[in-house]
Structure 1
Amino acid sequence: MKKNVIARGEMWHIQVMREGRRIRFSTKLKANKENKEYILRNFERLIEEHLNPPKLQHKKPEKRSLEYYLNRTLNNAKALREGSQITYKQYYNFLLGYFGGICVENIGREEIEKFYLYLGRQDISKVRGRSIVRFLKHSLGLALYDEVINRNPVFPCKFSTLKESKKIEPFNLSEVKAILEIAKGKEYPKWFCNLLKVAFFTGMRCGELFALRKEDIDFTRNKISITRAIKQHDGKASKPKTTSGIREIDLLPPVREALLAQIESQGGKTYLFSHTRGNPFRSSADFRDIWASVLKSAGLEYRTFYTTRHSFASIMLSEGEEAMWVSKTLGHENLNITLEFYAKFLENEQKPRAVFLNNI
């Protein structure tokens, strides 16, 4: 057989007659001396491979456990603040405790249905249940992206058997006035009444309130700068919960009065509201007994200290303050979040609408 090797388009081509059949094809090798010698040495093999190309072996996707993808989701949460990381770790442990080392390929709709039944028997709220499911869905979404599974088996569920989140039961303005009047009593420390005024009339989160320092208060501009929050698990200051949490809020008259009094009496400690030795409060549990006593004396049912934040929002909205101002003061990312929780407190008195159109 004559070995015809022809240069075309800067590539070597083989041209040969076999059993009366003309065979022509490109070797896809650049037309140089070295490649021609290689082709001549392997002439028969190259023709055979051209006529009978090897079948492509499709590599089967690597089998991976759900634990692998749960870990990846957990690692992605390292960019979040420490409190959120702790919560994600709890979701991870919950899911791993149920599914164990199961392979993601073995998780179908039936397994998800069984998991939902299990989840529905747990003593957790709907909000937490849905958060756990979102964690699972994201983890399986990573497996889908890796083409280890061909669809995400997680589907929506109402979780009717789980507990509803606690309803918001804020104090009204009359109740707030009664609480503050009781807190002025000699049996309670002076700092506590100051703390209550700031909490009720700024809507600050507890961690933000406990991280408050003298330099955060601008009495000339009547502004408070919120740039940090105390973490409950270690008592250290860090950035607020969200980017929108870094904000300036208005220094309303009762708050101004309370902060001036607190700065005068707190003895140069770093944090305005702290323990005797200057360590900031970690949570409202540090003064729960005082809080409970004040509520009892005011004849009010016990509610968590965080209710002061809800009370600020509900009072301001019900008194006709702008919803956007309330939202920004609370440090919400957008107005929708504020309205989702507090829309029912919006002023809704019956009054003439669009009176500016009367003369048209």
Structure 2
Amino acid sequence: MGSVNERGGMLFLDFRFKGSRCREYTKLQDTKVNRSRTSKLLQKIEAEIILDTFDYGKYFPNSKLREKFDSLDERKRKSKAYFNAPDSPRFEEFARIWLTEMKIEWSKGHYEDVEGVLNKYLLPTFGNKKISAINKGQILQFRTILAKVPGRKSSFLSPSRINHIMTPLRMLLNEAAARYDFTSPWKNIKALKVGRTEVDPFNFGEVDKIINSVPEHYKAYYTTRFFTGLRTGEIDGLMWDSVNLDDKTLTVNQSLNRGEISTLKTEGSYRVISLTDRVVHALKEHQRKSYLKDEFVFTNEKRNPINYQVHSRTVWYPALEKAKLRARNPYQTRHTFATLLLASGESPEWIANQMGHTTTTMLFRVYSRYVPNLTRQDGSAFATFLNNGGQL
């Protein structure tokens, strides 16, 4: 409760506003009439303070406190605009709109990945919130919670997986901020540090064991996969018109992901791979047995395109078990190809080209411990290496 007081014969108002004590002097002498007028002014001020409509500068334009309260008002205004952008929708509503808009740009596999992240992680947490009201603290708290979520193969979600979940959230918030004119809360939030790529290749003898352990229908598939370094989508999407057995080359120009043919991720992924005699022989034998009208080089036993998840479960892992080898994911076939090339002494530049890397940087970063003294650069060393049964 404020009061009207006197100092040096002049009246002043004493009241509290936004947690601060305010003393504002008038030019009125301390008389009965002036005290009545000042008391009514104080009542009006306190009423406006209660209604949150009090404008300090309107009543005391020359006050030293005006700048302080104007600054607080501006911060409040910005905060209000931040949390209550007039037209901003709920997170779920905007996410659905954004997902529909991006569908035309993304591959089927990427679209399904993002949709899965939305449905499993983002919508249960942020779905009912107004998108402009989500703040940095909530984002960081969400990431902390993700770090405690059980993973499929480890105790908790990996940093890489958490970053994968956080990426659509960042894209959504930044896009919504641009459209609805509010400040994105995604400021100085760095991705979690991810460990080095797990390289756990097979040696030459283990490769032979695996090829001998898969069903006859898939021996050419794994011979090609191990000795070309093709990615899963690349070999599953390989068609006969991209294979030239006379020139001993294979052109990589598309990928098969979740039953849909798509372009490759980077320009460097488009490449021509040199084939060893072992791969050429396996492909010729496979071609002789395959149906001429099949477009895909490799299919399942029902002549349908290979489904990665089903194939891994029913062919790859049973073959490792039969060969009495430790379970490793199918991508290790690509790592195996790279390490065998390095062990054979091929040039890093030539290996990078075969792998679909534009530079040797990733090659040395991922496979540095497998790099010996390198001398050859044309593929002949690898062919000799294979012909000698994996011996230099």
Shorter-chain TM-score: which interval? 0.5 to 0.7
The percent of aligned pairs where both chains have the same amino acid is 24
Confirm whether residue 101 of structure 1 aligns to residue 132 of structure 2: no
Contact 1:144 1:151 in 2 (8 A): yes
Q: Which residue of 1 aligns with 2:62?
A: none
- CA deviations on 1:141-192 (whole Å, 9 max, x unpaired) are 22343463234335435658xx978832111223223434x34xxxx64332
2:269 aligns with one of 245, 268, 277: 245
Contact 1:140 1:152 in 2 (8 A): yes
Q: CA deviation at 1:135?
A: 1.8
Following superposition of structure 1 onto structure 2, how do residues 167-316 of structure 1 map, counting pairs within 5 Å? 167-180=198-211, 182-183=212-213, 189-232=215-258, 235-270=259-294, 271-283=296-308, 285-286=310-311, 288-316=313-341
- Distance in 2, Cα, partners of 1:175 & 1:138: 43
Distance 1:152 1:298, change over 3 A: same
1:127 aligns with one of 153, 160, 173: 160
Q: SS in structure 2 opposite 1:80?
A: coil
Distance 1:63 1:336, change over 3 A: farther
- CA deviations on 1:193-225 (whole Å, 9 max, x unpaired) are 222210100011222212333322112322111
- Distance in 2, Cα, partners of 1:251 & 1:282: 25
Q: SS in structure 1 opposite 2:354?
A: helix
RMSD value over aligned CA atoms?
Answer: 3.1
- CA deviations on 1:295-319 (whole Å, 9 max, x unpaired) are 3343311222222112112222233
- Distance in 2, Cα, partners of 1:323 & 1:69: 47
Tell me how many residue pairs correspond in the alignment: 283
- Distance in 2, Cα, partners of 1:148 & 1:247: 44
Following superposition of structure 1 onto structure 2, how do residues 129-144 of structure 1 map, counting pairs within 5 Å? 129-144=162-177
Gaps of 5+ in 1: 1-59, 350-360
1:118 aligns with one of 125, 136, 145: 145
Following superposition of structure 1 onto structure 2, how do residues 80-91 of structure 1 map, counting pairs within 5 Å? 80-91=106-117
Q: SS in structure 2 opposite 1:78?
A: coil
- Distance in 2, Cα, partners of 1:348 & 1:308: 23
Gaps of 5+ in 2: 1-80, 151-156, 375-392
Amino acid at match of 1:176: V
So what's the TM-score if we normalise by structure 1? 0.68
Contact 1:291 1:305 in 2 (8 A): yes
Contact 1:231 1:237 in 2 (8 A): yes
Amino acid at match of 1:324: E
